[in-house]
Amino acid sequence: MSYDKVEVPSEGEKITLADEETGKLDVPEQPIIPIIHGDGIGTDVGPAAQKVLEAAAEATGRSISWMRVYAGASARDEYGENLPDDTVDAIREFRVAIKGPLTTPVGAGFRSLNVALRQKLDLYANVRPTYHIDGVPSPVKNPEAMDMVFFRENTEDVYAGIEWEAGTGEVEEVKEFLAGEMGVGDKLHDGPIGIGVKPITEFGTKRLVRQAIEYALENDRDSVTLVHKGNIMKFTEGAFRDWGYELAEEEYGDVTITEDALWDEYDGEQPADKLVVKDRIADNMLQQLLTRTGQYDVIATMNLNGDYMSDAAGAQIGGLGIAPGANFGDGRCLAEPVHGSAPKYAGEDKVNPTAMILSGRIMLEYLGWKDAATLVRDAVEETIASKEVTYDLHRQIDGGEKLATSEFADKIVENVEKLA
Ligand code: NAP
């Protein structure tokens, strides 16, 4: 592959696919990893994450060969466009990458670059591990009970972008089809109307639920909960539930049991070698996040439910500055923090880089570098526990010392080296 304006590092090797079917990777000791620092505070949190991840790789006998690629404002400077082919091609070729936030100006005439990247690379699962870090202020009484990993489907649902604007010829055509051909005219009020379509496919559902189950098995989790509103939207969200259970039975029948079987056959005592697959209705699940937090583990859900639910859960553990994420495809991972580019703080060396650093931790896990990933997690926890923190945490805790982004990252690096 040749690149127009970016250099492939001369040192390091490419991560390759070891097994087409499972998406398992062959990861060298010095992989080449593309990185997009991102817009706004991306210029602060990007370099901070880079140095922590490098330290963790080195402390576990490896190294990372970074390949800087561009999207958003930095790409407009370099290439005159928001999302150059170089960037998409590099992530496609090198398989595992990390990015900071990208700005999507309201009404600026281009779609979200984040959405575009996920679509172009078919990164169909948005993954958000959500757990509380000791010392982080939270609005709930027992934030430590939260330890969930959300798998949100990224390509379907009302987010698929199949919609027509009120007043256009297209929407009138769709309305006519619905009223005439499909006989549902009595459900559509007169006057201007906007119409969107909610596609949920067996293919999209099964590959998402497969990722969630694989993750749960690999990380010794107790359950996967399918969250849906199938009582109302029977043929979309109800189908998601049914296809999810079907996949669990067809492909993981020997290692999974349903909640009914847990009670009927095991008296509620979960056997160590079985993963429970259960389901919950979305509105109930939003309550249970708060009231029965400890009973849930890995969550698999569709795009819109996942959007609401993962943000609500994120708030329970202390909010945006610390919430990490990643997007998984088949044998591909693009890690990214949940937060945006917070333009008002851009370049001030002020914001919290934890979300970007912990997104890097997910990336290390994806590489199979569990020791390095654990080191990052522990070093972040140790640093926050010492109350030497960035402004966002400092303003919510008693005492402690306020650090700049770069100083906070240096403390984490010190702790990585100390804990190694
Ligand atoms: P935002 O950038 O996430 O910022 C909202 C607020 O969250 C900030 O003002 C700040 O709160 C807090 N915050 C965010 N990141 C933080 C960090 N690292 N450390 C400490 N506090 C942090 O949301 P937004 O202002 O709605 O969006 C700005 C731009 O980002 C938009 O263009 C949006 O489209 C884009 N965006 C991108 C992504 C992505 O790239 N994945 C995701 C979401 C949004 P205080 O002011 O209270 O300190």
* Mutational test site, ligand 1, from 114, 320, 405, max ligand atoms within 8 Å of CB: 320
* Mutational test site, ligand 1, from 43, 74, 341, max ligand atoms within 8 Å of CB: 341
Quick one: which atom of ligand 1 is closest to the CA of 339? Answer: 3
CA of residue 297 to ligand 1 center, whole Å: 27
Please say whether the beta carbons of 305 and 227 come within 8 A: yes
Quick one: which atom of ligand 1 is closest to the CA of 342? Answer: 2
DSSP of 188-210, one letter per residue? S-SS---EE-----HHHHHHHHH
What's the pLDDT score for residue 204? 97
Please say whether the beta carbons of 38 and 113 come within 8 A: no
CA of residue 404 to ligand 1 center, whole Å: 17
* Residue 243 structure tokens: 């296809």
Query: How, if at all, do strands 125-131 and 147-153 pair?
Result: antiparallel
**Which residue minimizes the CA distance to atom 39 of ligand 1?**
101
Candidates 368, 384, 366; CA nearest to 325 is: 366
Which residue in this structure is represented by tokens 């929407």?
171
Query: How big, in percent rounded to 5, are the helix, strand and coil portions of the chain?
Result: 45, 15, 40
Quick one: which atom of ligand 1 is closest to the CA of 103? Answer: 32
CA of residue 125 to ligand 1 center, whole Å: 22
List the pLDDT tens digit at each of the 420 positions of the chain: 889 899 999 999 999 999 887 788 999 999 999 999 999 999 999 999 999 999 999 999 999 999 999 999 999 988 999 999 999 999 999 999 999 999 876 655 566 888 889 889 999 999 999 999 988 889 999 999 999 999 999 999 998 889 999 999 999 999 999 999 999 999 999 999 999 999 999 999 999 999 999 999 999 999 999 999 999 999 999 999 999 999 999 999 999 999 999 999 999 999 999 999 999 999 999 999 999 999 999 999 999 999 999 989 999 998 777 899 999 999 999 999 999 999 999 999 999 999 999 999 999 999 999 999 999 999 999 999 999 999 999 998 888 999 999 999 999 999 999 999
**Which residue minimizes the CA distance to atom 47 of ligand 1?**
392
CA of residue 80 to ligand 1 center, whole Å: 25
Instruction: Give ligand 1 pocket residues (Cβ under 6 A).
Output: 41, 45, 101-104, 114, 320-321, 336, 339-342, 351-352, 355, 392
Q: Output DSSP code: residue 391.
A: H
Q: Is 283 a catalytic residue?
A: yes
Catalytic residue among 99, 206, 229, 274: 229
CA of residue 342 to ligand 1 center, whole Å: 4
Q: Is 141 a catalytic residue?
A: no
pTM: 0.92
Quick one: which atom of ligand 1 is closest to the CA of 354? Answer: 18
Neighbours of 407 (CB within 10 A): 14
What distance in Å separates the CA atoms of residue 78 and residue 71, rounded to the nearest whole number? 9
CA of residue 200 to ligand 1 center, whole Å: 30
Contacts of 237 (CB under 8 A, 6+ apart): 200, 228, 229, 230, 282, 302, 305
Q: Is 229 a catalytic residue?
A: yes
Quick one: which atom of ligand 1 is closest to the CA of 391? Answer: 20
